[in-house]
Amino acid sequence: MIVCSIFSANAQKYNSTFSEKVKNTRDKALTFLVESQIDSSIDNKQFKGEWYGTMELTEPYFFIGRKQKHKDSNGFTVSAIHNFLAEVYLADTTLHFLKPTLDKAFKDILTYRNGQRFNFWKALPPNRKLKLFGEPNPQPLVHRPTEYPLRSRFINNAANVPEDADDTSLGNLATMYHNQIFGDTLQLIASEEYDKFLDLHRRNRNWYNHLFVRYPNSGAFLTWHSQEFRFWFLKIPFTFLSTFFIFLPGSSARPKAYNPWIPFGANDVDVVVNSNVLTYLTVSNQLDKSHGKKGAIAYTEYLLKQPRWYNNAVYYPNLYHIHYGVARAYAAGVDELAPACQIIVQNIIRTQNNDGSFESQDWLNNKDLVQSTAYALHAMLDLKSRGMNIENERIERAIRFLLQKFIVENEGVKWNGGVFFSGGTALRNILIWKSDAYTTALIANSLTKYLKMTKK
């Protein structure tokens, strides 16, 4: 009896000490995020309210150029970091020092907005002439990277992408959090706007979807909020021929100057994009109104029953990003994702290393250990919050691994950024985005979830 009491007391003391260490690290991570936010703008290169991130080509590619890395400003990065910090604040509203940071970030997020939709890049002046003949004067604005050097007319025109479901979901989620935190009443995008772009009755199909996830007419949400090229009737060889002859003027896949370009002229379906849309629609109380809900859930469950499902996201090469995205939607309240999440639980249990870490492919940022573990940890916490069978010991092992990997930065701590996004399809594994701030905010949010869990 005495031995049991001593053991119990020691366990409580250990748990208390561990939680204190977690909280201290979380607080220092928040300090880094506040201190590293950019405070001033430089014309068309740097913007107040954002965080530093990079766009990197890891291998030479014939129409982009040599391998290189440059700073990049984009709406995905700032929206994601804002939303992680907003969730931290909403979980603990005593963290008042986060509010000015959130306000500055949100003002920058709005510069990516077009109506109620959001773009990956800002609309900026072109860096060169984009037409061989008949160049307009003045030149219209285009969406493009801020500092990555795009040389040819072709690749400049290809970078001018339309608004998309992913950034639109992140941007509107940021708007909803802004309304909650600051008492604002900004309008949110309605579910009907997503339903205008569903994978139904199409006369085109993205070659990548056809090769890797053969589930046409799924009813799931399409990535790009723009009209794709429509063949007279759908024959898959037409899609491949158009892609193969992309440099020829008659190809439907060829980008055109000053017209937003859907990659390869054909929209696509991505499981993580669908998870992000489901999360937004759920937390904004619009899920049951959505015509795309059923298709998105069915597509997700179908994909997770395929071999190597964890490597089948179009734009997200990290092996644990699907875990993170689907678990996040399930935790938000998409109950129908339970069967898919059971598959995720089994995969997490099977793949966690003894030291608590998770690893991606060898060639992706040297297994991308920190980023993979951060995504898996966030997924475990979300799954456990919904009653899934995730042992505390697994969660704490992952946290202990991450606590060994932080880097002290002035008064705060950070983690080196891993791969959180890619160019997708042909560029999925070689054109990547990384950000220390994104990875640090992701982990800070997970540590906050853990602290909330252990208080119950």
CA distance 63 to 151: 9
Give the domain range for residue 110. Answer: 22-455
The reported pLDDT for the residue numbered 400 is: 99
Task: Classify each residue of 34-64 as buried b or exposed e, where b means 16 or more C-beta atoms within 10 Å of its C-beta.
Answer: eebbbeeeeeeeebebbbbbbbbbbeebeeb
Q: Which of 210, 214, 278 is nearest to 242 (CA)?
A: 210
- Report residue 125 as tokens: 């002046």
- pLDDT of amino acid 7: 43
- Average pLDDT value for residue range 210-236: 84
Average pLDDT over residues 408-436: 96
- Position 382 scores a pLDDT of 99
Q: Rounded distance, CA 372 to CA 198, Å? A: 30
What total number of domains does the chain contain? Answer: 1
Give me the CATH number covering residue 327.
Answer: 1.50.10.20
Q: Please state the rounded mean pLDDT for residues 403-408.
A: 98
CA distance 314 to 209: 8
The answer as to whether 324 is a domain residue is: yes
445 touches 82 (CB < 8 A): no
Q: Is the pLDDT of residue 154 over 90?
A: yes
pLDDT digits (tens, 9 = 90+) for 55-87: 999 999 988 999 999 999 999 999 999 999 999
What is the pairing mode between strands 68-71 and 123-124?
Answer: unpaired
- Structural contact between residues 202 and 234, judged by C-beta atoms closer than 8 angstroms: yes
Kind and range of the H or E run holding 408: strand 407-409
Percent of the chain with pLDDT over 90: 85
Q: How far apart are CA 388 and CA 438, in angstroms?
A: 27
Task: Answer yes or no: is pLDDT of 449 > 50.
Answer: yes
| Section 429-445 average pLDDT | 98
- What's this model's pTM, rounded to 2 decimal places? 0.95
Summarize the confidence of residues 178-206 as an average pLDDT: 96
In a domain, 16, yes or no: no
Local confidence band at 3 (pLDDT 50, 70, 90 cut-offs): very low
The whole-number average pLDDT for the span 161-175 is 99
254 within a domain of the structure (yes/no) = yes
User: Is it the case that residue 144 has pLDDT exceeding 90?
Assistant: yes
Q: What are the residue ranges of helices labelled H in 72-146?
A: 75-91, 98-109
Tokens 């954002």 correspond to 50
Q: Is residue 13, in this structure, part of any structural domain at all?
A: no
- How large a percentage of the chain has pLDDT more than 70? 94
Q: Does 9 reside within a domain?
A: no
CA distance 368 to 434: 11
Q: Does residue 29 lie within any of the structural domains?
A: yes
Q: Would 321 be classed as within a structural domain? A: yes
pLDDT value for 240? 62
pLDDT tens for 262-287 read 998 899 999 999 999 999 999 999 99
169 found inside a domain: yes
User: What is the predicted pLDDT for the residue at 253?
Assistant: 80
In tens, the pLDDT along 372-399 reads: 999 999 999 999 999 999 999 999 999 9
At 297-316, the pLDDT tens digits run: 999 999 999 999 999 999 99
If one counts every other C-beta atom within 10 angstroms of the C-beta of residue 386, the result is: 16
Number of Cβ within 10 Å of residue 239's Cβ equals: 23
Nearest to 268 by CA among 328, 226, 326, 325: 226
DSSP state, residue 42: B
